[in-house]
Chain A
Amino acid sequence: MRVLITGMGGELGTGVAQLLEARREITEIVGVDFVPPRRRLRRSEFRRIDPREREKLAAFVTEYAPDAVAHLGVYEPGSRLPARLAAEYTRAAAVGALGAAARAGRLERVVIRSGISVYGRGRGRPGVPDEDAPVAPTTPWGRSLLALEALAADIGRRHGIPVAALRMATVAGSHMPSPLGRVLRLPAVPVPAWSDPVFQLLHADDVARSIVAALVAGTDGPLNIVGPGAASVWQAVRLGGRIPIPIAGPMWSVAAHAVELAGAPAPPHVIEILTKGGAADGSRALDTLQLGALRSTHDVCTELFEWATVSSLRPQPQLVEVSGG
């Protein structure tokens, strides 16, 4: 099977490539992204293409003619790109890569990275939606993911191929660039004054495992992928030994600017997690993909705070070799 990985330069794309390299049935792996892979890959080929160069990307994908696409060219606002650019890159990568892969004529299956943000949060919405719950995103990130799902599902319908949309909880970890992780690692973290919403996290390794499982199985339709258990916002802040700063109402926009000035951009979907939480029911994916045990939200949260703090090295006194005699 010839697999195309979009977004191979990210932590998730590199992780998926590493797992696919270990499988015999995957004969060729090719990846594209605007940054190179984060770790050494043994038998994957990488092509550095900016997703906004649509013709170049489409020409490359058409020439490669993949059997399967793992579409990870989905850029979370505030992660590696600012919000405006992230939406533009996400849209461009989807249109360029998925459209060309379908037209190349060999495509058999597609797996896309989506998120539980597509369900939206707040009044009138379930706290733990399953895949049958109505989708009504309440943030630009959620709307971007829903548009991507619609595009991929349309390609699947037209060409009669299975398209799996893996709706991930917030992906975090010590090596994962995550806007929520950056906010939680600040010395003082804004928290809701009158509530304690619950959210779920997912480890990057589990994301890679689930994408490979869906790709190999040829899964069709949406699946929620979430870490077991949950954490509340106040709990996560105290777990990291950070100082909670209670915020209410319109002060959240001030808090969003303040944390950005402190080096942690907080796009709307991060503020939504802090104020309304973010959880979903992932039981269907566990059954369908036979994923086994996933890292719990508590573990991922703990790992987030185990990230080594930057410490300045003191100059060591020069060692002098003393010879005896």
Chain B
Amino acid sequence: MGEVAALPMFGVDLDKTQSVEPVDVIRRHLDGRFSIDPFGADPQLQDVLAPLVVRLVPVRAEGMHHIPSTGPALLVSNRGIGVLEPTAISVAVRKLCGRRLRVVGTPEIPIVGDALRKLGSVGNYPADLGALLRAGHLAALPLGVNWLRTGVGIAPTDMLVVALGYPVIPVLVRPGGPFGLPLLPWQVTFGPPIVVGTLGDRDPLSAAELAEAAREAVHALA
């Protein structure tokens, strides 16, 4: 076995302490000397692939100042087919804030689900989202699917119950091309954090209020 350096615990924010040189990344992955978090994300792999994704998915963003530079926060966004919108938000956050975004909703499909987890996605479970926020990550929770992108989908109350007490930021994401085609840069708009009064930790009524407020806030950005 080769020498094993003590690796720092990283993966949350601007702590890219490992090399992103392809040769070094391959060598470390062959030797098993890289960090991985309990959700399965591989921050080094994320950093290596980020420039490629940033080039493939051009974005134009507004209201980036609403995103905290450190610490936990939840972005709630509209969703069409469910793949491109979270990617566009991830690119905007990565490019303009330098933070890694953890998108909620990994499909439980062999190989695909595993690959998405390595790139930072997490399961669609309240426990996973709660653990993510407690660990200080920036998470994105897409609202209900709206295939024709004609409005804003339903906000999942069971997921938002674990986000009570954390900053919740509405996000509107739209393709830039005519007829909703993703031809021009995506338009990503971040709104001010949603404020709702809470009756206590994990209170279902407060979560329902937050869900309604989130849906209205995303709709208001349109």
Contact = CB atoms under 8 A, between A and B. Distances in A.
Interface stretch (B32-40, B49-57, B74-82, B170-178): B32-40
Interface string A213-233: 000000000000010111110
Contacts of A305: 1
B83 interface: no
A277 B36 CA distance: 13
A126 B122 CA distance: 9
Of listed A198, A236, A299, residue having the most chain B CB within 10 A: A198
Interface stretch (B60-68, B84-92, B127-135): B127-135
A239 interface: yes
Interface string B1-45: 110101101000000000000000000011111111111100000
A205 to B, nearest CB: 17
Contacts of A198: 36-40, 117
Nearest to B110: A194
B123 interface: yes
A257 B37 CA distance: 31
Given A194-B110, A281-B130, A302-B4, A128 B39 contact: yes
B134 A283 contact: yes
A200 B122 CA distance: 17
Interface in B106-139: 108, 110-111, 114, 117-118, 122-123, 125-128, 130-132, 134-135
- Tell me what chain A mostly uses at the interface: helix, strand, loop, or mixed: loop
B38 A283 contact: no
B110 A237 contact: no
Contacts of B1: 239-241, 305
Contact of B38 (A132, A195, A200, A238): A200
A133 interface: yes
A127 B128 contact: yes
A127 B125 contact: yes
A234 B33 CA distance: 11
Given A229-B37, A240-B1, A299-B6, A196 B32 contact: no
Contacts of A230: 36-38, 40
B82 to A, nearest CB: 19
Interface residues of B, number: 36
Interface in B128-161: 128, 130-132, 134-135
Nearest to A241: B1
Given A229-B9, A241-B1, A130 B127 contact: yes
Nearest to A134: B127
A296 interface: yes
Given A127-B40, A228-B9, A298 B127 contact: no
Contacts of A138: none
B128 to A, nearest CB: 5
A242 to B, nearest CB: 9
Interface residues of A, number: 39
Given A298-B7, A305-B1, A126 B128 contact: yes
Contacts of A123: 108
A295 to B, nearest CB: 11
B98 to A, nearest CB: 22
B73 to A, nearest CB: 17
A235 interface: yes
A200 B37 CA distance: 9
B34 A130 contact: no
Interface in A48-96: none
Given A126-B125, A127-B40, A128-B39, A283 B32 contact: no
A238 B36 CA distance: 14
A229 B36 contact: yes
B111 A283 contact: no
A229 B32 contact: no
A129 interface: yes
A194 B111 contact: yes
A279 interface: yes
B131 A128 contact: yes
B114 A196 contact: yes
Given A240-B1, A281-B127, A127 B39 contact: yes
A88 B126 CA distance: 36
Contacts of A279: 38-39
A130 B202 CA distance: 13
Interface of A: 123, 125-130, 132-133, 194-198, 200, 226, 228-232, 234-241, 277, 279-281, 283, 296, 298-299, 302, 305
Interface of B: 1-2, 4, 6-7, 9, 29-40, 108, 110-111, 114, 117-118, 122-123, 125-128, 130-132, 134-135, 202
9 contacts: A126-B127, A127-B38, A127-B128, A128-B131, A194-B110, A229-B36, A279-B39, A280-B38, A281-B131
Given A237-B32, A277-B40, A281-B127, 10 more contacts: A128-B127, A129-B131, A130-B131, A194-B110, A198-B117, A231-B32, A235-B36, A240-B32, A279-B38, A281-B131
A-B pairs with the 6 shortest C-beta distances? A239-B32, A238-B32, A281-B131, A126-B125, A126-B127, A279-B38
